[in-house]
A and B are shown apart, each in its own frame.
Chain A
Amino acid sequence: MTTAVNESAPGGAARQAAGLPRLLPASPEDLRGHLARYGATPYRGRAGALIADIEASGLTGRGGAAFPVYRKLAVVAQARGRKVVVANGSESEPASRKDELLLRLAPNLVLDGLQLAAEAVGATEAHLYLHYGSTPEILRALAERASRGLDGFGVTITQAPPRFLAGQETALVNRIGGGPALPTFQPPRVSERGLGGAPTLVQNVETLAHLALIARYGPRWFRAVGTDAEPGSMLTTVYWPDGKCRVVETEIGAPLRALLSSGAETRAWLVGGYHGTWLPLPEAADVTLDHDSLKRFGAAVGAGVLVALPADRCGLTEAARVTGYLAAESAGQCGPCLNGLPRIAAGLAELAGPGHRKQTRADVERWVGSQNLVAGRGACNHPDGTVRFVRSALTVFAPEISLHARGQCSATNRRPFLPLPDGMPTSEDDWT
């Protein structure tokens, strides 16, 4: 397993001139260092005051859905009665390491953001939802803040189970509420009715860190990097063909080529993690890290997982491995997902093997070819994301499928590349 390292992308001087990095200090920063660098938490003194700045900044969620943050804040702020805010640090995507690193290096920035968001929406209850087996830095940060009386109210920590769906908003609310991390049907959205029936603001920890900086430096500062449509910077988890994994903060709109290798040593790119999209090379070599550029290939930024698959690995085999994992991680609550995903995974595994039945390829293409068969008919978007991942794999690795049908493979290295956890969930306890 590779260790995530905070490291500047090539072109260090240019990045510093552009004002990066913004979020990640070189080493873990304790409360004293945080206060020395940023000063005290800039509370506004009343609910709703921060929301206009967030709207002007154009900040969108960094958890994968890229939903405009000010809209979520406004919905919860306008609700009456008890309200809750949750910092989502569960990082359920196996290939993503950015939230883990952020929480280790700059926990106070995240906790500032959580308190500021709580003030903005008028919440009286705050939670932190953490990845299974998280490090104790966050506990230390909370204790330090408590002893200094920095926070409006205490933060309750809940541990997420190591499930792919654990970070989904409704699953998160269920888990924090004491039940299993299983999604529920929406409407109502959690921002209308969430934890204990109260309107609940759920934000990714990176989003809250950006929010904490915008509260200090303002929307214009935030917009100094990035594009007009998608301003700001984001953390990406980058995998190079040599197997090294780095967390890199980059401005939105940066060329993928600056972050990922695209030369002869790279077979294809994966953008957006395991619900993301495979990009063919060299056709996609000029793509930039923004919505419009990626849309041309049916891709989206997601939670910033970027992978350069080495040329010596088989993309089809890797896709089949991941799809098997995604199928095993289905909550099994909705007929189309429960029945579709395992069958798609088994089909893809057969395509990745030596020789396959014609019916298998036709079946898999049919199951992933519609937006209203397996995709689009679940309570959450797990089947949608999985279908997108598989569809792009079938397109990008089509030549590989033909090779495998003849019992051949263009890869020379059989070692698995994409990181996956061991073991399939088998009992209810695996979801709590």
Chain B
Amino acid sequence: MSGTTAFWYASRATGIVALLLLTAVLVLGILVNRQGRLPGLPRFAVTSLHRNLSLLAVAFIAMHVFTAVLDTYVSIPLISGVVPFASGYERLWLGLGAISLDMMIAMIVTSLLRGRMNRILWRAIHLLAYLSWPVAFAHSIGSSKDLQQGWMLDMAVGCALILVAAIVWRLAHAARQVPRAGRVAAVFAQHSAATSGATTSRATSSANASKQTRRTRETVKR
């Protein structure tokens, strides 16, 4: 491997870390949407981690691009980091990387401006995450011989599988969601199921009441 430099190593390493971080960001994003918890951590940790790791991921991608540009073995213009297919070297695969990064930049900028923009537009751009990751994944595999074999390939595929599992979990919930017009009926049903079987004319014990509360927390709107 003559001609490889520290920059080239750094670019590959930061690229791998970025892929791991992006996987975590998407899984956390799904967790936020599903109001899931990370064991032992408060609720705001999930949203905070999601947001902070997304910024960290972009920081690593920036380093990934800069080190690749600084490496002199191949000529990669700086703008090819955000302008797709502007690089002579590995035009297609690097182009995909730029596309993925562009989408991430759009997501982050719109999230920073979230209070001032149309909700539906914000959500539409944020859903680009589900496109950005596979494009980044394709970029990773296609542009790096490392990831095409051995433990690195296993790791990349592992990331993909974890993400697919999270997406399936998300879609399963969406399929179970009661449409708005049916929500009231669902609460009626939930309430009658929760209260049937209780004894009459005696106050239910506090244990019963708290169990009911926890069950009623499975409220329909979420």
**Could you list which residues of chain A lie within 8 angstroms of chain B, going by C-beta atoms?**
327-328, 330-333, 335, 338-339, 341-343, 345-346, 355-360, 362, 405, 424-428, 430-431
Contact = CB atoms under 8 A, between A and B. Distances in A.
Contacts of B187: 338-339, 342-343
B195 A346 contact: yes
Interface stretch (B61-69, B109-117, B198-206): B198-206
B192 A346 contact: yes
Q: Is the interface of B mostly helix, strand, loop or mixed?
A: helix
Interface in B181-220: 181-185, 187-188, 191-192, 195, 198-204, 209, 216, 219-220
B91 interface: no
Contact of B203 (A342, A355, A359, A428): A359
Chain B: interface size category? 20 to 34
A362 B203 contact: yes
B191 A330 contact: no
Q: Is the interface of A mostly helix, strand, loop or mixed?
A: helix
A335 B179 CA distance: 14
Contacts of B191: 342-343, 346
Contacts, number: 73
A209 B179 CA distance: 40
Given A342-B187, A357-B204, A332 B219 contact: no
A335 B221 contact: yes
B203 A346 contact: no
B180 interface: yes
Contact of B201 (A327, A330, A357, A430): A357
A359 B195 CA distance: 10
B198 A339 contact: no
B203 A332 contact: no
B179 A342 contact: no
Contacts of B184: 327-328, 330, 332, 338, 341-342, 424
Nearest to A333: B180
Given A356-B200, A357-B202, A426 B220 contact: no
Contacts of B199: 357
12 contacts: A331-B180, A332-B183, A338-B184, A338-B187, A346-B188, A346-B192, A357-B195, A357-B199, A358-B201, A359-B204, A360-B195, A428-B179
A431 B216 contact: no
A376 to B, nearest CB: 18
Nearest to B179: A428
A343 B187 CA distance: 8
B181 A427 contact: yes
A431 B183 CA distance: 14
A344 to B, nearest CB: 10
Contacts of B195: 346, 357, 360
B202 A358 contact: yes
Given A342-B188, A357-B204, 6 more contacts: A345-B188, A357-B201, A357-B202, A358-B203, A428-B180, A430-B181
B210 to A, nearest CB: 13
B143 to A, nearest CB: 47
Contacts of A357: 195, 198-204
B216 A339 contact: yes
